Amino acid sequence: MLDYAALAALAAVIREGSFERAARALHVTPSAISQRIRLLEERVGCALVIRDQPCRATETGRRLCQHVDQVQLLEQDLQGTLPALAAQGMSRASVPIAVNADSLATWLAPAIAAFGAAHPVLLQVAVDDQDHTAEWLRSGAVLAAVSATARPASGCNSRPLGAMRYLAAASPAFLQRHFAHGVGAASLALAPSLVFNAKDELQARWVRRLCHRHVELPRHTLPSSHAFVTAALAGMGWGLHPQALIQSHLDNGSLVELLPDAPLDVPLHWHTARAASSLLDGLSAAILAAARTGLLPP
């Protein structure tokens, strides 16, 4: 068997970001942590931790952390069937997942919160663009991900969740000022757009579909789903918003669509590492159920 005291030390260093904090979390000395990780690195034959502030995992280190997460999930199942184990102190399995911000701002947060409240887990949620979350799973940084990618990484499963509907919208005053003569390549090249961050391709994709070519868009960057809506309401720019976040504003006229019948639907998928864990299965069931009411059918 592998040295699980050493693996636990590795996981703690990556989770906590430093040897000192990991030592405190595991109630040992920093030099004990340091020694365990050095021995593990010798055994594996490569560096596992990038000693930076904060400490990060190497590719191999991440894969080992994912293994620790999977073993913890199995231990959790075992506690369920052998209550004597749990009586020694109820532990909670750590379940790291990566999701996109717009899902977290709409249909996903209530599902995660309800699952977390009802089960003996600690959920570590990371947020990234839906085109990049699958990479977190592939690299071993998480056990599950909401992703725009359909194809599962090797050793993983993927199930369709449904599509997130985005609408291109702005305030009526913004539309009047920038698009009084229509929405086209010329007006889009001058009207400020909103993008979530440098990875956000939605606005560019919507424009390419409309104009059949690339248009260089002036961009405000605003990495918050809710601030995106605030910015649109204030007339700062146009952007693609999840319909669920702006429907009430469309209904009362404080936001308007740039063009009618021009939604952008982004299919999402639920990727999981293959772990024989009833806890992870339960999380998947909760997330698939939430997607059935919160997303368009796959």
Site string (225-254) toward a copy of itself, x via CB under 8 A: xxx--xx-xxxxx-----------------
State how far the Cα of 42 lies from the Cα of 46, in Å rounded to an integer. Answer: 7
Burial (CB count within 10 angstroms: exposed 0-12, middle 13-18, buried 19+), residue 152: buried
Per CB under 8 A, does 262 bind a copy of itself?
Answer: no
Compute the least distance from the CB of residue 220 to a copy of itself, in Å.
5
**14 touches 65 (CB < 8 A):** yes
CA atoms within 13 A on the CB side of 28: 16
Q: Which of 10, 112, 167, 273 binds a copy of itself (CB under 8 A)?
A: 112
Calculate the alpha carbon distances from 155 to 14, 67, 165, 190, 239 in Å: 22, 12, 30, 46, 37
Question: Of 235 and 267, which has the nearer Cβ to a copy of itself?
Answer: 235
State how far the Cα of 158 lies from the Cα of 164, in Å rounded to an integer. Answer: 17
Per CB under 8 A, does 190 bind a copy of itself?
Answer: yes
The dihedrals phi and psi of 59, each to the nearest 5 degrees, come to -50, -50
Q: Which of 4, 218, 262, 274 binds a copy of itself (CB under 8 A)?
A: 218
Question: Of 14 and 64, which has the nearer Cβ to a copy of itself?
Answer: 14
State how far the Cα of 218 lies from the Cα of 186, in Å rounded to an integer. Answer: 12
Compute the least distance from the CB of residue 45 to a copy of itself, in Å.
26
Using the rule CB under 8 A, give the single segment among 113-121, 142-150, 205-213, 247-255 that binds a copy of itself: 113-121
132-171: contacts with a copy of itself (CB under 8 A):
none
Per CB under 8 A, does 92 bind a copy of itself?
Answer: yes
Using the rule CB under 8 A, give the single segment among 39-47, 63-71, 80-88, 98-106 that binds a copy of itself: 98-106
Comparing C-alpha atoms, which of 230, 188, 223 is closest to residue 205?
Answer: 188
Q: Which of 123, 150, 210, 264 binds a copy of itself (CB under 8 A)?
A: 123
- Give me the DSSP letters along 193-231: EEESSTT--HHHHHHHHHHSS-----EEE---HHHHHHH
Per CB under 8 A, does 198 bind a copy of itself?
Answer: yes
Per CB under 8 A, does 32 bind a copy of itself?
Answer: no
Using the rule CB under 8 A, give the single segment among 61-69, 139-147, 216-224, 287-295 that binds a copy of itself: 216-224
Per CB under 8 A, does 90 bind a copy of itself?
Answer: yes
- Helix 30-44 and helix 59-81, axial crossing angle in degrees, nearest 10: 110
Using the rule CB under 8 A, give the single segment among 37-45, 121-129, 259-267, 277-285 that binds a copy of itself: 121-129
Per CB under 8 A, does 180 bind a copy of itself?
Answer: no
Question: Of 74 and 123, which has the nearer Cβ to a copy of itself?
Answer: 123
List of residues 6+ apart from 84 with CB closer than 8 A? none
Give the tokens for residue 156: 């993983």
Per CB under 8 A, does 85 bind a copy of itself?
Answer: no
Q: Which of 1, 84, 87, 117 binds a copy of itself (CB under 8 A)?
A: 117
- Give the chain's radius of gyration (CA, Å): 23
Comparing C-alpha atoms, which of 296, 271, 293 is closest to residue 162?
Answer: 296
Q: Give me the residues that bind a copy of itself (CB under 8 A), please.
A: 15-17, 24-25, 54, 90, 92, 101, 104-105, 109-110, 112-114, 116-117, 122-127, 174, 190, 192, 198, 214, 216, 218-227, 230-231, 233-237
